[in-house]
């Protein structure tokens, strides 16, 4: 579940797509060269990712054959948003990559996620971009529309062993537009119900089961809420948000949709969506089982992660942080089912080559290796980081000592009921989110009733959708 502060930060970034010209210069770390010699310790790494283990794993993997290997020295810049804890693994990947490709020097550019989109939109407007850059699934259409991303379809067609069919069902779709492939995903995972075992035990509430319905989940959230003030424990970490994956995560179970499949009509005021969302706002207003904006602001952290909420809807990518930092026992459960069945979103991110890159062949070699089965095993499977976008990398994730307990449930959900159906992907998507958010916040504060608020969102969003026609 998106906590109020983090949700607002992301929405602010998404809203910036409509105001590139007004952006101020955004900060970020300088481009840092990574040498093939590594560090004095023998190579980059740390306690979590020891270099000796990384070197052994790297040697055991089958890396792709290269096409377009440079005959002389070239430099490529790769932009991502890795936090300090995961950055050593990226350093290790780059270290071994440059050992395999001595004529390619990798320079890395790290920008926090909250500033990433604004920074690179501004750079795109100024004609200065890295060779390879991270992209959230919901940003792809806008970058493609602006001509920022290069189609890699021709590279993929020529690449020996590319095995397009190895990518999981929903993952490639986020990077496909008009029959062309504008990047490659590295992860694609489901959102599931995370729960705090300690809080369930203290309240005498039985843990979620595979047969749980949404009504049972919300009823449990009411029973789990207790206490007052700074000691208040909430049943649920937060409300749904009007973001790109609202439809599969919350609405499809009631037959509702945010937008129609063509993304040219807003359907959020229709009965299915109203019936899906009204109980969540009741959970906040009637039962006080969800943090208000003021509660969330006072906590200054995502409520579930600090033990202040018994349940939260989170993506698989939240598991490593919880495994490393949570001071309580937690587990994952299937998303509960609704009247129309069980659904959740399957979403992820990837990397793309920028159209203005002066070293496209070298950039492809890097992108292909990073998202190859070997690259995904090295970066995301063996580290327990998250749901690989390649089926062949999943065993390494499930067997990793760093994977969370019950990680197999993520694979099961991805195969059984997670979907990208209804995830907003067209160019107007970020503006839709930005336009809908103020009214959503008014519903959350109780200043406007849910049905009225959803009708207003429909009216406000409809003119924006003209961009998708």
This prediction has a pTM of 0.87
Please report whether residue 423 resides in a domain. Answer: no
Looking at residue 205, the DSSP 8-state letter turns out to be: P
Considering its fold, how many domains does the chain have in total? Answer: 2
Please report whether residue 4 resides in a domain. Answer: no
Angstrom distance (rounded) from CA 172 to CA 309: 34
Q: How confident is the model at residue 190 (pLDDT cuts 50, 70, 90)?
A: very high
pLDDT in tens, 144-187: 999 999 999 999 999 999 999 999 989 999 999 999 999 999 99
Question: What pLDDT sits at residue 45?
Answer: 82
Per-residue buried b or exposed e for 280-318, using 16+ beta carbons within 10 Å of the residue's own CB? bbebbbebbbbbbbebbeebeebbbbbbbbbbbbbbbbb
Whether residues 253 and 212 share a domain: the answer is yes
Whether 78 shows a pLDDT value over 50: the answer reads: yes
Whether residues 391 and 247 share a domain: the answer is no
Whether residues 442 and 354 share a domain: the answer is no
Structural domain ending residue among the three candidates 418, 439, 454: 418
Please report whether residue 8 resides in a domain. Answer: no
Beta-bridged to residue 352, according to DSSP, are 133
Q: How confident is the model at residue 42 (pLDDT cuts 50, 70, 90)?
A: low
Whether residues 320 and 354 share a domain: the answer is no
Whether residues 316 and 407 share a domain: the answer is no
Whether residues 133 and 259 share a domain: the answer is no
Question: What pLDDT sits at residue 386?
Answer: 83
Please report whether residue 225 resides in a domain. Answer: yes
Whether residues 139 and 284 share a domain: the answer is no
Whether 433 shows a pLDDT value over 90: the answer reads: yes
Pairing of strands 176-177, 184-185: unpaired
Whether residues 340 and 271 share a domain: the answer is yes
Whether residues 52 and 182 share a domain: the answer is yes
Q: How confident is the model at residue 316 (pLDDT cuts 50, 70, 90)?
A: confident
Question: What pLDDT sits at residue 36?
Answer: 37
* CATH code, domain carrying 353: 3.40.190.10
Question: What pLDDT sits at residue 14?
Answer: 34
Whether 410 shows a pLDDT value over 60: the answer reads: yes
Mean pLDDT across 79-99: 96
pLDDT, the chain, mean: 90
Mean pLDDT across 110-117: 95
Mean pLDDT across 345-359: 97
Domain that holds residue 221: 191-345+428-468
Torsion sign across C-alpha atoms 199, 204, 205, 208: positive
Angstrom distance (rounded) from CA 346 to CA 414: 7
pLDDT in tens, 240-279: 999 999 999 999 999 999 999 999 999 999 999 999 999 9
Which one has a higher pLDDT value, 141 or 63? 63
The encoded tokens of residue 423 equal 């995830």
Mean pLDDT across 453-461: 98
| Residue 449, C-beta contacts closer than 8 angstroms, at least 6 positions apart | 443
């Amino acid at each position: 579940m998106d906590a109020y502060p983090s949700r607002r930060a992301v929405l602010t970034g998404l809203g910036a797509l409509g105001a590139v010209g007004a952006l101020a210069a955004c900060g970020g770390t300088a481009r840092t060269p990574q040498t093939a010699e590594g560090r004095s310790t023998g190579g980059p790494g740390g306690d979590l990712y020891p270099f000796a283990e990384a070197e052994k794993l790297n040697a055991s993997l089958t890396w792709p054959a290269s096409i377009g290997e440079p005959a002389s020295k070239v430099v490529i810049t790769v932009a991502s948003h890795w936090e300090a804890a995961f950055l050593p693994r990226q350093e290790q990947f780059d270290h071994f990559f440059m050992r395999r490709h001595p004529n390619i020097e990798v320079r890395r550019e790290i920008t926090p996620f909250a500033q990433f989109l604004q920074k690179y939109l501004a750079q795109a407007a100024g004609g200065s971009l890295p060779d390879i850059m991270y992209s959230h699934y919901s940003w792809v259409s806008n970058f493609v529309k602006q001509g920022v991303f290069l189609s890699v379809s021709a590279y993929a067609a020529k690449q020996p062993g590319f095995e397009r069919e190895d990518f999981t069902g929903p993952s490639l779709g986020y990077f496909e537009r008009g029959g062309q492939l504008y990047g490659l995903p590295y992860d694609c995972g489901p959102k599931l119900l995370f729960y705090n075992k300690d809080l369930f035990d203290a309240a005498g509430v039985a843990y979620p089961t595979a047969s749980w319905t949404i009504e049972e989940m919300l009823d449990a959230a009411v029973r789990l809420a207790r206490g007052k003030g700074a000691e208040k424990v909430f049943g649920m970490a937060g409300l749904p948000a009007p973001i790109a994956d609202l439809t599969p995560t919350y609405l499809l179970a009631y037959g509702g949709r945010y937008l129609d499949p063509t993304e040219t009509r807003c359907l959020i005021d229709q009965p299915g969506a109203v019936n899906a969302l009204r109980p969540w706002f009741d959970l906040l207003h009637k039962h006080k089982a969800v943090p208000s904006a003021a509660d969330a602001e006072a906590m200054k952290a995502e409520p579930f992660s600090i033990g202040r909420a018994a349940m939260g809807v989170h993506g698989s990518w939240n598991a490593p942080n919880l495994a490393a930092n949570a001071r309580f026992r937690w587990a994952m459960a299937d998303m509960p089912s609704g009247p129309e069945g069980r659904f959740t979103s399957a979403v992820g991110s990837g990397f793309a080559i920028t159209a203005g890159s002066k070293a496209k062949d070298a950039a492809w070699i890097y992108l292909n290796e990073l998202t190859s089965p070997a690259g995904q095993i090295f970066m995301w499977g063996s580290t327990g980081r998250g749901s690989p976008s390649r089926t062949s990398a999943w065993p390494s994730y499930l067997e990793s000592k760093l994977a969370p307990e019950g990680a197999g449930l993520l694979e099961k959900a991805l195969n059984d009921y997670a979907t990208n159906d209804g995830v907003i992907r067209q160019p107007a998507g970020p503006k839709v989110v930005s336009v809908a958010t103020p009214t959503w916040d008014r519903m959350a504060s109780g200043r406007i009733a849910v049905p009225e608020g959803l009708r207003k969102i429909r009216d406000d969003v409809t003119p924006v959708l003209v961009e998708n026609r």
